[in-house]
Amino acid sequence: MSENETKEQDTKEQITGEKPKKDSFLDSLIVAVVIAMIIKGILLQTYTIPSESMVGTLLKGDFILLNRLAYTFSEPSRGDVVVFEYPLDPSKDFIKRVIGTPGDRIMMKDKVIYVNGVAQEEKYKKTNGMMPMPESVTIKDNFSEFTVPEGKYFMMGDNRDNSYDSRFWGFVDASRVKGRAVMIYWSLDTPQYNSAWAKFPLNMLRFLNPKYDRFERFFKPIK
């Protein structure tokens, strides 16, 4: 502040008896909350994992962040974990892994996925160890090769024997993809059904009990 500005301010204080107001903590807090709401509304979205279809990567009770702008200037890549509108009921959101992108040739043989003729390693995959069933009985473990149409994606859960996915209800349109799951920011274990913590309202407050907080999963990147 210049010398003249300082004199003008002193003169103002002498005439009005008022001092210039400084930014308060409340003002700063309000600004921070507004910025956070804008970021959440435009860039990020939060979800809670309600099922075990992505076990191997995500657990029931994980709280995740979704990057809503991830595919603004690009397309989903094979291996991305994404949230999308369930094709048979757009009011519901599903989370799965991209297995096939437009133009890919996909086949499953004895629980192993082949993309364009190459077996995929899929370190994130979880299976129950049971003997694969033939395609004539179920497409869960085996299905014949097909090509993913343009503008469509083939999605599967990492928990292959406990996932309701594209094997059963088909492809996901590109316009239905909401974003990429990028981080677990919090995780809560589920109390046993006969526990007092499983009943309302304690179930909603179980984060207060360190027993149910899975601290090792906090701020864990989703790969």
Cite the active site residues: 53, 96
Classify residue 135 by burial, with Cβ atoms within 10 Å: 0-12, 13-18, 19+: middle
Nearest partner of 223 among 194, 193, 183, 185, judged by Cα: 183
Query: Residue 116 — φ and ψ, nearest 5°?
Result: 55, 40
Separation between Cα atoms, residue 181 and residue 76, nearest integer Å: 11
- Are the CB atoms for 97 and 80 separated by under 8 Å? yes
Q: Scanning the structure block, which residue is given the tokens 């959101």?
A: 93
Q: What angle do CA 176, 179, 181 make, to 5 degrees?
A: 130
Nearest partner of 155 among 85, 66, 52, 60, judged by Cα: 85
